[in-house]
């Protein structure tokens, strides 16, 4: 038996995992995701980085684990806070754990039938993402929102249905408050 080697890594104060694979999502990578299309086109002139992911991934084998940090930047498109694309796992029954490290935000979760839950997150919050729930994080603060995710190596990502239908709720700022409102485009 050839054993894989254990290791430890230290996540730095900016959420970077040294040696990890880096992924950058700019606003231009998220066309169609935000409700306010006019505000989207306007902000696209700057094309800000919305989030970065540092992932340490194994072969997609049953029983193994991946982990990744996400640095979700503060910002809004219209009144809608910056968020991650959101996905179901390709193997939809694979669960996940999130652990908030810095900043302020929350997670939107949704079943395939469109039932939604919102879980607020601050440093120290652990979120359990059950099997079959799509998940999207939202930065509701004014500094980077940084968290660690731990997920089965064979979970995979299924972005299609969220890209098409979105979430049934939008997370917006109204009168200086964070609010969840119905997504008018959701059907």
Where along the sequence are the contacts to ligand 6PG (CB under 6 A)? 53, 68, 70, 84-87, 96, 135, 137, 149, 151, 155, 157
C-beta of 81 vs 133, nearer to Ni ion: 133
Cα–Cα separations (whole angstroms), residue 139 to 4, 60, 61, 71: 36, 30, 32, 10
For residues 186 and 88, give the distance between their C-alpha atoms in angstroms, rounded to a whole number: 17
C-beta of 75 vs 175, nearer to ligand 6PG: 75
C-beta of 2 vs 9, nearer to ligand 6PG: 9
Cα–Cα separations (whole angstroms), residue 50 to 1, 37, 142, 172, 175: 43, 16, 13, 16, 23
Q: What is the DSSP string of 66-115?
A: EEEEEEE---EETTEEPB---BB-SSTT--EEEEEEES-EEEEEE-TT--
> Which of ligand 6PG, Ni ion, none sits in contact with 85, Cβ below 5 to 8 A by type?
ligand 6PG
CB of 157 vs Ni ion, minimal distance in Å: 7
C-beta of 33 vs 38, nearer to ligand 6PG: 33
> Which of Ni ion, ligand 6PG, none sits in contact with 86, Cβ below 5 to 8 A by type?
ligand 6PG
For residues 47 and 12, give the distance between their C-alpha atoms in angstroms, rounded to a whole number: 26
CB of 88 vs ligand 6PG, minimal distance in Å: 10
Which residues of this chain interact with Ni ion, rule CB under 5 A?
96
CB of 98 vs ligand 6PG, minimal distance in Å: 7
CB of 101 vs ligand 6PG, minimal distance in Å: 12
Picking from 68, 72, 162, 156, the residue whose alpha carbon sits closest to that of residue 110 is 162
Cβ count near 111 (within 10 Å): 14
CB of 175 vs ligand 6PG, minimal distance in Å: 29
């Amino acid at each position: 038996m050839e054993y894989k080697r254990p290791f430890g890594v230290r996540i730095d104060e900016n959420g970077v995992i040294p040696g990890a694979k880096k992924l950058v999502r700019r606003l231009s990578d998220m066309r169609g995701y935000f409700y306010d299309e006019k505000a989207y086109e306007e902000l696209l002139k700057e094309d800000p980085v919305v989030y970065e992911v540092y992932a340490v991934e194994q072969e997609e084998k049953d029983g193994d684990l991946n982990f990744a940090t996400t640095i979700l930047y503060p910002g809004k498109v219209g009144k809608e806070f910056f968020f991650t694309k959101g996905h179901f796992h390709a193997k939809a029954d694979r669960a996940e754990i999130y652990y908030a490290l810095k900043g302020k935000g929350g997670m939107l979760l949704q079943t395939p039938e469109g039932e939604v839950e919102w879980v607020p997150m601050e440093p120290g919050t652990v979120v359990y993402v059950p099997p079959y729930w799509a998940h999207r994080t939202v930065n509701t603060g004014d500094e980077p929102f940084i968290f660690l995710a731990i997920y089965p190596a064979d979970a995979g990502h299924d972005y299609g249905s969220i890209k098409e239908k979105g979430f049934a709720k939008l997370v917006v700022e109204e009168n200086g408050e964070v609010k969840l409102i119905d997504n008018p485009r959701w059907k």
